[in-house]
Amino acid sequence: MNDADAMKPHQEKVAAVVKQYGGRFIARGSKVEAVEGKAPDGMVGIIKFKSLADAQRWRASPEIKAIAGSRPQAAAPRVFLVEGLSN
């Protein structure tokens, strides 16, 4: 994260948009312990959606695009969508 203050508007709004698209944060924070390999730097968020398609809709949503704003200047995010295991 390059600018914590610039990230605040995004962080304050993202959870509501995640919920709107059927997701929920299952982890969010900066305390990461590497067991094997290099731990990511900074904040890590893991969001669970019912399906990969729901995650894709959230990521492409106008709401997410609207709050993205200065996020690229405030941080160098890496975002991955991963299909989960079936129950």
Using DSSP, state whether 78 is helix, strand or coil.
coil
At position 17, the amino acid (one-letter code) is V
pLDDT at 6: 66
4-31+41-70 has which fold?
Answer: Alpha-Beta Plaits (3.30.70)
Question: What's the whole-model pTM score?
Answer: 0.79
- At 41-76, the pLDDT tens digits run 878 889 999 999 999 999 999 998 888 765 656 666
Strand (E) or helix (H) holding 8: helix 4-20
Alpha carbons within 13 A on the beta-carbon side of 49? 21
Other beta carbons less than 10 A from residue 14's beta carbon: 21
Q: What percent of the chain has pLDDT over 90?
A: 40
pLDDT at position 17, please? 92
